[in-house]
Structures are given as C-alpha cells and as structure tokens.
Amino acid sequence: MSFEIPGVRSFSNVPEPAADRGGEEELGKTAFLELMIAQIKNQDPLEPAKNEAFIAQLAQFSSVEGIQNLNESMDSLVGSMRAGLTMDAASLVGRNVLAPTDQTVLNTNGGIGGSIDVTEAVADLRVEIRDSSGFVVKRMELGARGVGAMRFDWDGVTDAGTPAPQGLYSLSAYTESGGSTSEFDINLPQQVVSVSIEEGGLVANLVGGGSVPAVQIKEIQ
C-alpha cells in the first residue's frame, strides 16, 4: 500500500491495517489513521515532515471520516423508512382500495363503483361488464364526457333485469368513433389481501389475484 507524506522516508515493514486485509480498496478512517501514525513514527529525523503535509493529511482523514459518518446516517434513514413502509403495509391489509385493475368482486351490496380515466373528450363513453366466463352481463351507456376522472356505479342488475350473482367480474371502458375503438384505464374497488415490500416500494396484492404498486392506489375505502 502506498501512503506518502513529504519528508517521511519510504519503508516496507509497516503492517497492512486490519481494514485493508479484507480486500477493501478504500481506506476506512481507522486504517487511514493507522497508516498515518506508522509513517510518523518512521519519519527521517534529519528531514521531518512539514506542518503543511500533516495538515493536508488531516484534511484527508476528516473527509474519510465524514463520508463514513454520512454512510452510517443514510443506513439509519433507510432503516427508518423501511419500518415506516412496514407500518403502511399493515394498515392496507384487509382494506378496500380503488386501484387500476379491470377485475373486481361484486360486493355484498350487489353493486360495483369505480372510476374511468378519460384521456380525451368523447361523444359516447361505454362500459362493458363480463362475468368470469367472459359473457357480457351489462352494457352501460355513459354519454358524452370530457377529459378527466369520471365516477360510475353499477347496481348489480344485468341487462336481463336480474341480479348478477356474487363473483369475479371484469370491466372495460371504451368509446367508438369513425370505425375505431379507444379504450380507457379503469379503477375498481379491490380488497388488499397482502402487501409485498419490494425494491421499488409497496405492492398491494389484491383478492382477485392481481397486484398494483401502492403509489397507484387512487383511494382507500
């Protein structure tokens, strides 16, 4: 390892500091100080190091120590944030949330309420509701709509005039114009059955089998 202070003779019998034996490429503050003290002890008495050299080395030592302290502070901050995420996760489990998904369970009240992200003004916004077999049980005509989030509710009654059975349903929102179809994202209520803490943050796992990043949840019900 090379570590030079002007006015200090070079030598090869200074033992490697413990921090460097593990293969680390950068000196920690303890290893840095060990090397500095070792070289001071072995300096040439006829050509002692100048004060400026020691000041420069002490400045480097302060920088190393400051970086290490900063790393320790960041580790503590990350730990606190992870603990906060865990508490947020616990509060979501068992709750109903409004999230971007095309599937939901018909609730005990016999209805489904959600919202549509309308990205362009339309003359006729439509919603189709299909049961688990893919059969269309309800078509809703919502009329002309402007850009923005639009709420809607289905009372659970099919086009045949009978109550739809409990179960999983899929919904789609779209408009047709000039022979082309434009679809829009839909947000539906889903129960959170568990939460995963992943590298990108919290992920809510929904009762229908899907999952959604917690930051995309529109509403906690």
Tens of pLDDT, residue by residue over 76-93, are 666 566 666 666 667 888
- Confidence bin at 68 (pLDDT 50/70/90): low
- Confidence bin at 209 (pLDDT 50/70/90): confident
- Output the 3-class SS for the chain: CCCCCCCCCCCCCCCCCHHHHCCCCCCCHHHHHHHHHHHHHCCCCCCCCCHHHHHHHHHHHHHHHHHHHHHHHHHHHHHHHHHHHHHHHHHHCCCEEEEECCEEECCCCCCEEEEEEECCCEEEEEEEEECCCCCEEEEEEEEEECCEEEEEEECCECCCCCECCCCEEEEEEEEEECCEEEEEEEEEEEEEEEEEEECCEEEEEECCCCEEEHHHCCEEC
Q: What is the pLDDT at residue 3?
A: 46
Comparing 152 with 220, the larger pLDDT belongs to 152
Delimit the CATH 2.60.40.4070 region(s) of the chain: 101-188
> What is the rounded average pLDDT for all residues in the chain?
77
Q: What is the pLDDT at residue 52?
A: 60
Comparing 174 with 198, the larger pLDDT belongs to 174
**The CATH number of the domain covering residues in 101-188:** 2.60.40.4070
